[in-house]
């Protein structure tokens, strides 16, 4: 049976929280992690239950590293609710919402969803991907209440 990637499903409040954190992080890239349920072999369903804004320890406009303390705190909180971390988001301050070569090289969790918010235009653009074995595949996003 062929692999069918999940649709990333966010509430409007989660979407707004992610975008706000990206703007708050300027002039640097901002980042955070996503929690939700998984099924089978650890595959996320795509439903996001909690967003965790994190510190970008790189303090860079071109790269990001999620603060290890934020990552651990997020992981413990998700696990306490029977969920797992299912992805990460970060912003691109001056480029499109597409994984850079660095993003692809650093994508170590093949089951995760990688979301990118581009702040290049007047309006933010959110796109999401699966990155496996150096291959990038865009996935759908459904933001409840966003017309």
State whether residue 112 is helix, strand or coil: coil
Q: What is the pTM of this model?
A: 0.93
Confidence of residue 5 (pLDDT cuts 50, 70, 90): confident
The larger pLDDT score, comparing residue 128 to residue 147, is at 128
Report the half-sphere exposure of 115 (CA within 13 A, side-chain side).
31
Q: Which of 2-16, 63-77, 85-99, 118-132 has the lowest mean pLDDT?
A: 2-16
Q: Where are the domains of the chain?
A: 8-144
Q: Are 106 and 88 in contact (CB under 8 A)?
A: no
Nearest to 107 by CA among 127, 128, 86, 132: 132
pLDDT value at position 145? 65
Q: What class, spelled out in words, does domain 8-144 have in CATH? A: alpha beta
Contacting residues for 98 by C-beta, under 8 A, at least 6 apart:
92, 116, 127, 136
Predicted confidence (pLDDT) at residue 28 exceeds the cutoff of 90 = yes
């Amino acid at each position: 049976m062929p692999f069918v990637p999940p649709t990333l499903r966010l509430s409007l409040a989660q979407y707004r929280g992610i975008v706000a954190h990206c703007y708050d992080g300027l002039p640097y890239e901002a980042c955070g992690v996503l929690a939700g349920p998984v099924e089978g072999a650890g595959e996320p369903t795509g439903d996001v239950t909690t967003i965790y804004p994190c510190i970008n320890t790189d303090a860079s406009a071109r790269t990001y590293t999620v603060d290890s303390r934020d990552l651990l705190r997020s992981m413990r909180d998700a696990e306490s609710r029977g969920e797992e971390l299912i992805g990460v988001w970060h912003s691109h301050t001056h480029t499109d919402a597409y994984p850079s070569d660095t993003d692809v090289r650093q994508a170590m969790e093949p089951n995760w969803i990688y979301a990118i918010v581009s702040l290049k235009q007047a309006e933010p653009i959110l796109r999401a991907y699966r990155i496996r074995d150096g291959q990038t595949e865009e996935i759908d996003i459904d933001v409840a209440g966003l017309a």
